[in-house]
Amino acid sequence: MAKNTQLSFVLNGEEVQLLCEPRHSLLEVLRDILGLTGSKEGCNNGNCGACNVILDGKVVNSCCVFGLEVQDREVTTIEGVATNGELHPLQQKFLEHAALQCGICTPGFIVAAKALLESNPRPTEADARLWLAGNLCRCTGYDKIIRAVLDAAAVTSGEVTPVEVTAGGRK
């Protein structure tokens, strides 16, 4: 029989408590137990980034974290990115730039990009592309995503104009 174990942690600013099996990943805890289906299962092996959450300030693949590992930790999911009903500049710019088609990769990209801007408020295009290398998109070809991220960086860092985007970000 599976041994259900108690787990409590801070999720998007609020304490949550639940029971889960030791084998449950954090992604399974979020989606299947807590009903927070914003984080997606794209690959289940740490390659695609669709499951990204922020754990103690660091973006991680929640498919590669056991639920029980986050006991007493702080987790932010895509559901916690907009605050007080207002979209984060990243979300706003993704809409403006049409940086999504099917949208499956988008929560992961938003979370990872949020972590990028918190670590480096004025990334270059190459910085952004390298940081986001762990997030895969099958629909867009990444160009509009990068434009949205750099435009959002301009907003959050108070710059007037965003960094210019070239093809592939390489010379």
Partner 1 sequence: MKEIEFEAPQTLTEAVALLRERGKDARVLAGGTDLIVQLREGKREPDVVVDVKGIPELYNFSYDATSGLLLGAAVPCSRVYNDPVVCERYPGLIDAASLIGSIQIQNRASFGGNLCNGSPAADGVPPLIVLSAVCRIAGPNGERELPAEEFITGPGKTVLEPQEILVSLRLPPPPERSGAQYLRFIPRNEMDIAVAGAASYLELDEDGKTIRAARVSLAAVAPTPLLVSEAAEALIGKPASEDLFEVAAEAARKAARPITDMRGTEWQRRHLAGVLVRRTLQGALARARGTE
Other Cβ atoms less than 10 A from the Cβ of 87: the count is 14
- The 8-class DSSP code of residue 33 comes to I
Other Cβ atoms less than 10 A from the Cβ of 42: the count is 21
* Nearest to partner 1 of 53, 152 (CB atom): 53
Cα–Cα distance measured from residue 139 to residue 116, given in angstroms and rounded to the nearest whole number: 22
- We find the least distance from the C-beta atom of residue 161 to partner 1, in angstroms, to be 26
- Using CB under 8 A as the criterion, what x/- string covers residues 105-134 for binding partner 1? -------x--x--------------xx-xx
Quote the strand ranges of 29-144, DSSP E. 52-55, 58-61, 74-76
> Contact at 8 Å (CB) between 93 and 146?
no
Other Cβ atoms less than 10 A from the Cβ of 155: the count is 15
- We find the least distance from the C-beta atom of residue 158 to partner 1, in angstroms, to be 24
- Using CB under 8 A as the criterion, what x/- string covers residues 34-63 for binding partner 1? ----------xxxx-x--x--x--xxxx-x
Q: Does 2 bind partner 1 (CB under 8 A)?
A: yes
- Site for partner 1, rule CB under 8 A: 2-3, 5, 21-23, 25, 44-47, 49, 52, 55, 58-61, 63-66, 68-69, 71, 112, 115, 130-131, 133-134
